[in-house]
Every structure is written in C-alpha cells, then in structure tokens.
Structure 1
Amino acid sequence: MRRPVIGIIGNSALLGDDYPAHAGGVMNSQAVAEVAGAMPLLIPADPHYVDVAELLEVFDGFLLTGGRPNVHPEEYGETPTAAHGDFDRCRDAIVLPLVRACVERGQPFLGICRGFQEVNVAMGGTLYPEIRDLPGRMNHRMPPEGTIDEKFAIRHAVHFTEGGVFHRLLGSQDVMTNTLHGQGINRPGRRINVDGWADDGTPEALYVEDAPGFALAVQWHPEYNAANDPVSRPLFTAFGQAARAWAEGRCPAPLLKAV
C-alpha cells in the first residue's frame, strides 16, 4: 500500500538574490517522511498555479509550515502597520480557504507557527502583531544569531489543559518546546479551542472544536529533530495516522472527542 501523501505548504524565496523559488525546509520533509510515514510533496502556495479544490483531491493531508512573512492583517479586519512585518498574499489566498475546507471535510492538517496563526485567522480570529511588546510577555522570537541547533533549542514550557487533546496525545500536561515567532493569537476564531499556553499566557496549541478530522496546530516548531524529540514524535505520528486513515477512505477523529 502506498504511503499517504502530505502536501507541505511552500514559501516564496529568492535564490542568489534574483531567482524566484518556491521553498520548503528539509526538516519539514524529514518529519513527514520519517516520523509521519508519509510522502512529502511541496505545494507552491500561489493561486496562479494551484487551487484549493485540486489540492483537496491530490493530497491526504497538509502541513501548514512556518514562514517569515505574516498573515496580512486585512484578513482579520485590521490595517497593516510596520509592526505587522512582511506579507505573502498568495499564500493567504491558498491556505486560509484550504483550512476551512479541511475542517468541513475532515481532511487532516497540522499547523506550525505561521500555520498555527493561519488556522486561527481562517476561522475568524485575530493576531497580535508583536508578542514581545505586550505587558508581561516574553520574547518568543528566534535568536538573531547562532547555529540552527541553537536557534531551535528548547526555550520554554507549554502547559496543556488537563485531560485535553494535547495532554492525551503527548502523554504529559507540561512539555518543553522551542520558540521562533513574533506574532500570536489575540482573539481565538470560531471553534478554535486553545489547549496549551506558555508561562506568559501566550497560546501555543489549538484544535478546531467538533472538526470531523485531525485539525491541530502548534505555535512552536515540532519539525525540528522530530524523530528524537518526545513532544514532536507523537504529534507527527498521530498526524501520519490520520493521513493514512484519510487515504484509506476513513475519517476517524478520536483525539478531538471530549473525555
């Protein structure tokens, strides 16, 4: 039997400062292939080349990756400012409706960092442009210097709802994660259930309530060292199992059931 196929949302990039490219981090493909047990395929997140209906037919699940550009604030009813950073309207045009379609169909997705924020915005939520500017919040941004290992190093705790989806999935109510983001959830969207928080109250894990399939997202980067990290491995394993079920024509959602 073939592996389920996971579509990895790509980001726009420049190679050599002048060659446009659609890019995806190797660690995303590695986590999908080696931990989720699926075939990773990069999606050019641009409506000039793909549309949501096609993607839903081709893939068994979607990895909504992190990315340097942010969701455009017009998508959640706000005016852009310098604090909102750079944008990728093409990715917005693909991922936001893709999330809504997956929620309704039960098609699996896992959101990471920007993907976490996209899920909230897709469901009608809003974002803070800069977490570190809020009273009492820590700086969640990636260290500006250092090796990849230093930038993706474990930096803070995340606390899950007792008996909730992430507590049951990861086997612990308190875990340690990396952190590489500037923005974060302000108002949760419709059916967005925030299920994990950093010590400073920043939302770190969510699921879409009553979604018929795997509809989870995290603010940290579990794709880093996913095969060995005790938090990342069960997350990608469960995602792969959900994609396999979808490929086989099943749509179970045991993780999202109330206890």
Structure 2
Amino acid sequence: MTRPLIGIIANHHVIDDRYPLHGTGRMNLEAVTQVAGGMPYIVPADPTLVSVEELMRTCDGFVLTGGRPNVHPEHYGEEPTEAHGAFDPARDAITLPLVRACVEAGLPILGLCRGFQEMNVAMGGTLHPEIRDLPGRDNHRMPPDGTLEEQFALRHVVSFCEGGVFHKLMGAREVMTNTLHGQGIKTPGPRVVIEGHAPDGTAEAIHIDGAPGFALAVQWHPEWKAAEDPVSRPLFSAFGEAARHWAAGHGPVSLRGAALKSA
C-alpha cells in the first residue's frame, strides 16, 4: 500500500549568514516514517511558494513542527513586545489558515510545540509570551547547554483528563514528557479543549471540539526518538492511521475513533 503523504511544515533558516533555506529536523522525518508510516513531504512555509489550497489537495495529513520564531501576536489582537521574541510572518500566513481548513475538512493534523500554539491561535485563542514570567509557573524552556539527549530529556509529568482523548490514546492518566518552549496558551480558542496540564498548570495537550477528523496538538516534542518513546508512539501511530484512512479515500477518522483503535 502506498504510504500517505504527510506534509511537514518547514522553518526558514539561513546557512553561513547568507544562504536561505526551508528545512525541518531529521527527528520529524523519522517520526513520520518510522512511527506514523507516512511519506514525509517538507512544506516550505511561505505563501509565495505554496498555497493552502494546493497543500490540501496534495497531502493526506500535516505535522505542524516546532520552531524558534513565535506566532505574531497581531493574530490574537495584541501588540508585540520584546518578550514575544522573533516572528515568521510567512509561516503564520500558511499555518493559521491551514489549521482552519484541515479542521473543517477533517484532514488529519498534528501540532507540536509551536504547532500547538498555532492551532490555538488559528482557532481564536491567545498566548502568553513568556510562561516562566508568570507567578507560580516553571521555566519550560530548553536547557541552554548540554547534549541533545540532555536537552530533550523527560522533565515533567503531564496529567490528562479522565476519559478524554489523550487518556484513551495513551492508556494512562499521567505521562512524562520533555519541555522546550517559552510561550503557552493564555486563553484557549472557543473550540480548543485542553486535556493535559503540567504540574504548574501550563496547558500541554489539546484537541479541537467538533472536528470531524484527527486534530490534536501537544506542547512538548514527541518527535524526539518517537519510535522508542511509549508516549510518542501512540500519538504518531494514531495520526498515521488517520492519514492512511484519508489517503485511501475513506474520509476523516474521528479523534475518539483514532484514540480508541490505538489504545
């Protein structure tokens, strides 16, 4: 059977201070191929190169990857500050309408870290520019030093709602995750259901209420060694199942349907 084509949203980078490119981490490619069973397709996040309509016709699912630039606060009605960090307006111009189109059509979509934040903003939510500055919150940012293994190490528990999609998907109320983000959900969009929290109350797992297809996102980075991680495997496996269903012409797989089959 032909593998479903999974669009992996790329980030803009400059090599040697002069050579621009759009790329993604190998860990995203490996998670899509090894666990989701898809064919990875790197998507340049720039509306001068691709359109949402073309992507919807081409791909069987999308992974919204992490990235250093943040969603511009103009998309949730706030003015930018120094705390908001760097921006990538071209990526915003692709991902935010893409989220809404996928949710409406039922085309599978999985948000990771920045992708988690993009899904909330696309559905009408807002973000805190810097979680660690809030009273009672922890520092969720990536450790500045150390090896990749140390930076992506499991650092805190995520607790899921009893009987929710993530509880059934993971087969557990609590899991251990890494954490490498500065921003987080301030106000969830009207259809954004928060199902997982870190010990300090930070939102960590969401689904889109009423979405006809797979529409999940997590604030951590499950793509890191996804084939070996008991939390990452069911997440990417369920996403891959939904993408195969779509690729075969069978339409959307509901969130709860995908979760129950993967539990």
Q: Distance in 2 between matches of 1:201 and 1:60?
A: 34
Equivalence map 1:155-234=2 (5 Å): 155-234=155-234
Q: How does 1:96-115 map to 2 (within 5 A)?
A: 96-115=96-115
Is 2:166–2:259's contact at 8 Å kept on the other side of the alignment? no
- Asked if residue 255 in structure 1 is aligned to residue 262 in structure 2, the reply is no
Who is 1:144 aligned against?
144
> Aligned letter for 2:111?
G
Structure 2 CA distance for aligned equivalents of residues 34 and 258 of structure 1: 19
| Change over 3 Å in CA distance of 1:21–1:127 after alignment to 2 | same
State the shift of 1:256 in Å.
Answer: 6.4
The code of the aligned residue for 2:32 comes to V
Summarize the alignment of residues 47-62 of structure 1 with structure 2, pairs less than 5 Å apart.
Answer: 47-62=47-62
- The answer on 1:22 being equivalent to 2:22 is yes
Distance of 1:244 and 1:252 partners within structure 2: 10
Q: Give the aligned residue type for 2:219.
A: Q
Distance in 2 of aligned mates of 1:24 and 1:135: 34
Using a 3 Å threshold, how does the CA distance of structure 1 residues 5 and 257 change in structure 2: closer, same or farther? closer
1:254: Cα distance to partner? 4.8
Query: In structure 1, what is the equivalent of residue 76 of structure 2?
Result: 76
Question: Which stretches of structure 1, 4 residues or longer, exceed 4 Å deviation after superposition?
Answer: 256-259
Residue 85 of structure 1 corresponds to 85
Aligned to 2:34: 34
RMSD, aligned α-carbons: 1.3
Write the deviation string for residues 73-126 of structure 1: whole angstroms up to 9, x where unpaired.
000000000000000000000000000000000000100000000000000000
| SS state at 2:187 partner | coil
% same residue: 66
- Taking a change above 3 Å as real, the CA distance of residues 171 and 188 of structure 1, as seen in their structure-2 partners, is same
Is the CA contact 1:128–1:185 (under 8 Å) kept in the aligned structure 2? yes
Q: What is the SS of the residue equivalent to 1:186?
A: strand
Aligned length: 259
Unaligned runs of 5+ in 1: none
Does the 8 Å contact 1:9/1:42 carry over to 2? yes
> TM-score scaled to structure 1, two decimals?
0.98
Any idea what the Cα deviations from partners look like across 1:172-226, whole Å, max 9, x if unmatched? 0000000000000000002100000000000000000110000000000000010
3-state SS in 2 of match to 1:127: strand
Q: In 1, Cα distance between the equivalents of 2:185 and 2:140?
A: 13
Is residue 258 of structure 2 the alignment partner of residue 239 of structure 1? Answer: no
Is the partner of 2:243 in helix, strand or coil?
A: helix
**C-alpha distance in 2, partners of 1:173/1:253?**
21
Alpha-carbon contact 2:241-2:258 (below 8 Å) kept: no
* Aligned-partner residue type, residue 168 of structure 2: R
1: CA distance between counterparts of 2:240 and 2:230? 16
Name structure 2 gaps, 5 residues minimum. Answer: none
TM-score calculated relative to the size of structure 2: 0.97
Match of 2:7 in 1: 7
- 8 A Cα contact 2:3 2:244, kept in partner: yes
> Which secondary structure state, in structure 1, belongs to the residue aligned with residue 233 of structure 2?
helix
| Aligned residue identity for 1:17 | D
What does the per-residue CA deviation read over 1:9-55, in whole Å, with 9 as the maximum and x for residues that have no partner? 00000111210010100000000000000000100000000000000
Partner of 1:132: 132
